[in-house]
Structure 1
Amino acid sequence: MATSRTDPLTLEVVQLIGSVVARYYEEYEHAAAEHSLTGAQARLLGLLSLEPMAMRKIAQKLKCEPSNVTGIVDRLEARGLVERRPDPADRRVKLAAATATGLTTAALLRDSLDFAREPLAELSDAERRALRDMLQRMLGSGNGPDGG
């Protein structure tokens, strides 16, 4: 049975998702500021803490222009949090990678994001798995927020 986009339950769910996103970004901006970073710098550093990436891939994941990524990487590099290195698969391509200090900072940022962790702790493992699975389904992926 198809659900109307304007039924009260759908509207309530959309509003709640919006509230969750707003609170997440508010806390993320606050956590970033504690480390003298902008939210964009913190998000990029968090992404690079997972794996080194080419600028184009970073721009795709952050949904922004590659020129913006270059500026953010420049600022993080000046602080010793990120470095550029050749891609082993194609030495013409430069990868941005978190330094040891950058990895530590990214971990501190993740650890300071309590807003979602505390309410999620009140859910059972089965409830958290169900929520994860529903969010993945909404995003059209089976392996996480980036679809892979």
Structure 2
Amino acid sequence: MPDATGAPGPGPAHPTKTQLIELLAHVLSAHVADFTAAAAASDLTASQAKTLGVLRRSPASMRSLATSLACDASNITGIVDRLEKRALVRREVNPEDRRIKNVVLTEEGERTIDTVRETMHRTQQALDKLSGEERTELYRLLGTVFPE
């Protein structure tokens, strides 16, 4: 919570779940706005950049992408088509089931999502305020609350 000067204060000693949810909503909103602007600077929609981010972790089937991105499978086809046209992803046959196509990030796709992340200036500046130990603790806490 900001103090009279606008600087963030220490916050409540024991925040309620509601207070935590409000703060998470504020942080997420700022992150999404920053991510959307960084994606646009790379000539991507937020959905296209999110797809590249999901694929950064590992290749995925179209169905799996739709689930991860919480959207209809028909939307994924259009997103992947546009990313493939730019050589940011490619489709490969799943070795375990040849009927399934996996979507794989290309080297250019990796560079592009890295650029998006690097140009998220507001998020980068916010994280720069933390020490290495604080970033480690935040990473651990977020991983505990929202396991992958």
Same-fold status (TM-score > 0.5)? yes
Query: Aligned equivalents of 1:36 and 1:74: distance in 2?
Result: 15
Partner of 2:51: 44
Deviation of the 1:136 alpha carbon: 2.2
Relative contact order, higher structure (CA 8 A, sep 6+): 2
Partner of 1:79: 86
Query: Aligned equivalents of 1:23 and 1:135: distance in 2?
Result: 17
Does 32-41 or 45-54 show the bigger shift? 45-54
Aligned residues: 135
Deviation of the 1:67 alpha carbon: 1.5
- 1:65 pairs, out of 72, 86, 110, with 72
- 1:103 pairs, out of 87, 106, 110, with 110
Deviation of the 1:8 alpha carbon: 6.8
Task: Return 5+ residue gaps in structure 2 as ranges.
Answer: 1-13
TM-score, structure 2 normalization = 0.80
Query: Aligned equivalents of 1:121 and 1:130: distance in 2?
Result: 14
How does 1:1-148 map onto structure 2 within 5 Å? 9-139=16-146, 141=147, 147=148
TM-score, structure 1 normalization = 0.80
* Secondary structure at the counterpart of residue 92 of structure 1: strand
Query: Aligned equivalents of 2:140 and 2:108: distance in 1?
Result: 34
* Secondary structure at the counterpart of residue 44 of structure 2: coil
Task: Return 5+ residue gaps in structure 1 as ranges.
Answer: 1-6, 142-146
| Superposed CA offset, 1:78-121 (max 9, x none) | 22222111112222211111222222211111211232332223
Deviation of the 1:130 alpha carbon: 2.3
Query: Aligned equivalents of 2:76 and 2:121: distance in 1?
Result: 27
| Superposed CA offset, 1:41-88 (max 9, x none) | 011012223322111111121122222111110111122222111112
